[in-house]
Each structure stands twice: as structure tokens, then as C-alpha cells.
Amino acid sequence: MKIRFALFAGMLVALILAACSAAPQAAPMESAQEEAAPHEAGPPHWTYEGAEGPDHWGDLGDGAYPLCGTGKWQSPLDISTQDISAHYVDLPDMVFNYFPSDLTILNNGHTVQANYRGGSNAVIDGIHYDLLQFHFHTPSEHTVDGTSYAAELHAVHRNANGELAVVGILIQEGAENPAFDAVIANAPAEKADATTISGVTINLRDMLPEVTHTYRYSGSLTTPPCSEGVSWNLITDPIEMSAAQINRFVGYDANE
């Protein structure tokens, strides 16, 4: 099933266009973790459409995910490039310290996710955010001037205070992209626990576009529990993947 995420109503506040650059630093260490904080046992089931879809997330389980319905800073957004010029701020360059990682891959029932070996990070406004994992959404969750993309990659990071930052990469149909070959070849077609693929490595740095300017804003997780205070950094230039590559992710976001 193809995801069509309903955009939450929200103000595009302090949306910032900022230049980013890559500068490798330290060596890698420990393992990656999930995007959202763990729930108590037996969290309510949610889906991308129907009675358990986005319009109803805030009501599931007698209000287990209240921010999904009442939050004021919810993601994703439709990025308005007209608003950007009015809110432009010249911030320090973002720095991507991404290193090769063993491929540890899973299907959580909603998306394909690759957990990342510790040691890679992104530096945003001088703060280090450790890279935990990346996953995919088809089609894109964010839109730009109302335009949706074929897919979107979310790279999830966390700093020493437990605050989350997500780097979003828009994906459009085009040329085949060899940086994703290992992920696509080993992506579980059905829900499956994390498995480390022997002898296979990946590098998120190879998946970034050449130009890494970003739209920055403070938002939320895009799935339950919809926690707010997430630093969003959506790269302005999309990358390309072939139709065959993109189609490998369509349907992985199955409702259980």
C-alpha cells in the first residue's frame, strides 16, 4: 500500500534556509535506536488511513497519542518558498560527519529502517546529534509549494540531552542510485526484526545530494506519539532514484 500522509495544519514559523557542508571527523562506535521514545506495553495500533489513520491518531487508545490531535507544532509541513524569503536567517553551516556502518535492517510494519552504527553525527548550530537510523516514506511526507515527491528519507539523530533532530531528503524519480543498492537488496518485504547483514556496509554520506542547503523549523515526529520539539532539517535539493528502486519501498509501509 502506498502512503498518503495527511499534512497536519500548522504555521510555518521560523523556516530557515541555511547552507550545509560535510567535514569528516571521529571514528564510529555503538549501535543505533528507534525514532520515537519507547511506549508502555501494548501501545494502540495505528495506520496511515482509515479508522486508525492520521485523522484519528489523537483519539486512539483513549488518548494515548494526544499531541497527534492537539499539538501546535506538528510535522510534516508544506514548505512555502515565498515564506522563506521573509524568514531567511544566515546560520552556521550544518556539518555531516557520516561514516560507513554495518547494514542492520528491519521492517517495523510501517517502513523499512536501517539502524546506524554509533560514531556518526550531524552538527547543527554547534550541537552534535548522533545518527541513530534512517527510514523511508512513500510518497514524501513534506511537500514544497504543494508539490509531493516520490519518496522521502528521514535520518534520525539525538543529542546528549535526548533532543531529536531529523534530516529529511526528498527523492524524485530519475536515474538509478547505487548508494541505495545494499538497502534495497536486503529490505524485508514483511514485518521483521533488525538483522545485521554480514559483510555489507552502507554510508549515509553517499546518499546526500551534492548541495545540502536546508529548510529548518521546529516540529514533531510525523508518526505517533507525534512528540514535539524535533529539529527538522529538510534538504532543499532532492536526490534521484530509479522508478524500480522507489517501487521497492512502496508497500513496505503495510498496515499490520
Half-sphere exposure (Cβ direction) of 121: Cα atoms closer than 13 Å = 20
- Alpha helix segments (H runs only) across 67-178: 67-70, 81-86
Predicted pLDDT at 40: 46
Among candidates 5, 20, 17, 169, which has minimal Cα distance to 93?
20
Which residues of the chain are modeled with pLDDT < 50? 1-40, 253-256
Show the domains of the chain with their CATH numbers.
16-25+48-247 (3.10.200.10)
Tell me what pLDDT residue 15 has: 47
Q: Does the model's pTM come out above 0.85?
A: no
> ω into residue 38 within 30 of 0, thus cis?
no
Query: How far apart are the C-alpha atoms of 142 and 77, rounded to whole Å?
Result: 5
pLDDT for 109 equals 86
Is beta strand 164-173 parallel, antiparallel or unpaired with respect to 228-241?
Answer: parallel
Q: What is the pLDDT of residues 125-134, one digit of tens each?
A: 999 999 999 9
SS3 73: coil
Q: For residue 185, what is the enclosing H or E element?
A: helix 181-186
Is residue 57 a contact partner of residue 226, using CB atoms and an 8 Å limit? yes
Cβ pair 107, 184 in contact under 8 A: no
Q: How does pLDDT run across 154-206, given as a tens digit for each residue?
A: 999 999 999 999 999 999 999 999 999 999 999 998 889 999 999 999 999 99
Q: Which residues of 220-250 are buried (b: 16+ CB within 10 A; e: fewer)?
A: bbbbbbbbeebbbbbbbebbebeeebbbbbe
Residue 29 is predicted with a pLDDT of 27
CA–CA distances in Å: residue 82 to residues 12, 17, 144: 11, 12, 10
Q: Is the torsion defined by CA of 224, 36, 84, 142 positive or negative?
A: negative
Say which residues have a Cβ less than 8 Å from residue 12's Cβ, sequence separation at least 6: 77, 78, 79, 80, 83, 217
DSSP tally for the chain: helices H, then strands E: 4, 14
Structure confidence at residue 52 (pLDDT):
87
Q: What is the dihedral of CA 38, 109, 228, 13, to 10 degrees?
A: 160
